[in-house]
């Protein structure tokens, strides 16, 4: 629920039938779409960026607002400053092995962009009935002859299977599904989680004024499927833990979900993109926790030197090994 009574959860079933749950952003909004990375940026009451905040491309064009656009219900405000993130990026560069030297200086001059990313969160009450074969280990002692013809004994493990069944209920609170196109999914996973259960605020235009907001491109229907998949996988694991004994097989879970609701939320990230050679690399920091992840090039020269050094050392070891 997010701990704040003013944050509204929408009924999922109803919204999937009738997607017109849209509310106003609370200001003049403009949308642009990047022709390079296809991210759609929203600007409320303010300047429109001349370059894409996600990849740096100047190829951005005005984007028509979609009819079914669902506006955010809540927002996680920024909690770390761009200065703090810059320090972390400097450390990060310093600790990268085989990064080209030029990178370390380039990183300090790059612009850091604060961006709000779209997420969906889903809640549901789940009731599950499960059945499985519970496996109990038991051991017998076997005698055998070893290679010298001597008689020895050893413990052998067996499994006794018994039928088992049970049920459980669970409330899923804020199962998160990202709706972003601009940030690479692998990087995003590395800077999660965003503390949406404790620190969300009701959406207000003041939060996003002057910032770039990314428009979601994973729609509610698709996001709901992904959220459902996460929940059923988690539920399956919880049922597996309830099976008595040492192991199990043939676990069947029959689950019912009730009271499914969703929210569209915005979460903060700091983004840096830089080009090295012909490739654009992205660095992302969680705007609330400061957690950092980045893509980086490898210095061919440094790797070649390291390999060479390794070969020389190996040759020395072999050489001195032969002398003895």
The residue among 218 and 226 lying less far from Zn ion, judged by its C-beta, is 218
Q: Of the ranges 13-21, 35-43, 118-126, 213-221, which one interacts with Zn ion (CB under 5 A)?
A: 35-43
The radius of gyration computed from the CA coordinates of the chain, to the nearest angstrom, equals 27
Q: Is 271 in the site for Zn ion (CB under 5 A)?
A: no
The residue among 37 and 107 lying less far from Zn ion, judged by its C-beta, is 37
Tell the smallest beta-carbon distance from residue 182 to Zn ion (Å).
Answer: 6
CA angle centred on 38, ends 35 and 39, rounded to 5°: 120
Tell the smallest beta-carbon distance from residue 214 to Zn ion (Å).
Answer: 10
- Residues 6+ positions from 205 with CB-CB distance below 8 Å: 25, 26, 27, 44, 45
- Residues 6+ positions from 170 with CB-CB distance below 8 Å: 125, 126, 128, 235, 238
Closest CA to 181 of 31, 39, 35: 39
Tell the smallest beta-carbon distance from residue 56 to Zn ion (Å).
Answer: 7
Q: Distance (Å, rounded) from C-alpha 63 to C-alpha 217?
A: 13
Q: Is 37 in the site for Zn ion (CB under 5 A)?
A: yes
Tell the smallest beta-carbon distance from residue 203 to Zn ion (Å).
Answer: 24
Q: Of the ranges 57-65, 191-199, 236-244, 303-311, which one interacts with Zn ion (CB under 5 A)?
A: 57-65
Q: Of the ranges 45-53, 89-97, 194-202, 244-252, which one interacts with Zn ion (CB under 5 A)?
A: 45-53
Closest CA to 168 of 100, 256, 227, 83: 256
Task: Note whether 195 and 174 are within 8 A (CB).
Answer: no
Q: Is 71 in the site for Zn ion (CB under 5 A)?
A: no
Burial bucket for residue 270 (CB in 10 Å: 0-12, 13-18, 19+): buried
Tell the smallest beta-carbon distance from residue 176 to Zn ion (Å).
Answer: 23
Which position among 32, 52, 223, 269 is part of the footprint of Zn ion (CB under 5 A)?
A: 52
Burial bucket for residue 197 (CB in 10 Å: 0-12, 13-18, 19+): middle
Which position among 22, 57, 79, 261 is part of the footprint of Zn ion (CB under 5 A)?
A: 57
Q: Distance (Å, rounded) from C-alpha 245 to C-alpha 228?
A: 29
For 183-194, give the DSSP string.
S-HHHHHHHPPP
Tokens (6 digits) for 161:
């299977």
The distance from CA 172 to its chain's CA centroid, rounded to whole angstroms, is 18
Tell the smallest beta-carbon distance from residue 246 to Zn ion (Å).
Answer: 52
Q: Distance (Å, rounded) from C-alpha 106 to C-alpha 63?
A: 32
Tokens (6 digits) for 184:
């690479």
Tell the smallest beta-carbon distance from residue 41 to Zn ion (Å).
Answer: 9
Binding-site size for Zn ion (CB under 5 A) equals: 7
Tell the smallest beta-carbon distance from residue 82 to Zn ion (Å).
Answer: 20
Q: Is 128 in the site for Zn ion (CB under 5 A)?
A: no
Which position among 34, 76, 134, 177 is part of the footprint of Zn ion (CB under 5 A)?
A: 34
Q: Is 76 in the site for Zn ion (CB under 5 A)?
A: no
Q: Is 36 in the site for Zn ion (CB under 5 A)?
A: yes
Q: Is 115 in the site for Zn ion (CB under 5 A)?
A: no
Q: Is 280 in the site for Zn ion (CB under 5 A)?
A: no
Which position among 12, 55, 176, 267 is part of the footprint of Zn ion (CB under 5 A)?
A: 55
Q: Is 54 in the site for Zn ion (CB under 5 A)?
A: yes
Q: Which residues bind Zn ion (CB under 5 A)?
A: 34, 36-37, 52, 54-55, 57
């Amino acid at each position: 629920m997010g701990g704040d009574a003013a944050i509204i959860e929408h009924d999922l079933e109803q919204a999937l039938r009738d997607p017109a749950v849209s509310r106003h952003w609370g200001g003049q909004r403009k949308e642009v779409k990047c022709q390079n990375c296809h991210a759609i940026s929203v600007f409320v009451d303010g300047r429109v960026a001349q370059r894409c905040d996600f990849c740096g491309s100047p190829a951005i064009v005005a984007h028509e607002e979609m009819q079914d656009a669902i506006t955010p219900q809540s927002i996680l405000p920024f909690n770390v400053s761009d200065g703090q993130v810059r320090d972390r990026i400097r450390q990060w560069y310093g600790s990268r092995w085989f990064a080209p030297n030029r990178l370390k200086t380039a990183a300090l001059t790059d612009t850091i962009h604060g961006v709000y990313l779209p997420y969906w969160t889903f809640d549901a009450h789940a009731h599950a009935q499960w059945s499985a074969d519970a496996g109990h280990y038991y051991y017998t002692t076997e005698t055998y002859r070893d290679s010298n013809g001597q008689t020895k004994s050893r413990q052998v493990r067996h499994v006794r299977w018994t039928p088992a069944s049970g049920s459980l209920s669970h409330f899923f609170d804020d199962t998160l599904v990202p709706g972003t196109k601009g940030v690479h999914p692998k990087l995003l996973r590395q800077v999660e989680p965003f503390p949406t259960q404790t620190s969300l605020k009701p959406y207000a235009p003041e939060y996003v004024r002057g910032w770039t907001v990314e428009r979601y491109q994973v729609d509610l229907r698709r996001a709901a499927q992904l959220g459902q998949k996460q929940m059923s996988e988690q539920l399956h694991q919880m049922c597996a833990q309830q099976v008595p004994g040492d192991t199990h097989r043939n676990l069947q879970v029959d689950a019912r979900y009730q009271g499914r609701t969703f929210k569209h939320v915005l979460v903060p990230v700091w983004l840096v993109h830089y080009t090295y050679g012909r490739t654009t690399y992205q660095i992302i920091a969680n705007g609330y926790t400061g957690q950092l992840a980045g893509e980086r090039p490898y210095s061919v020269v440094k790797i070649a030197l390291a390999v060479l050094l390794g070969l020389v050392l190996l040759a020395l070891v072999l050489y001195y090994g032969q002398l003895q």
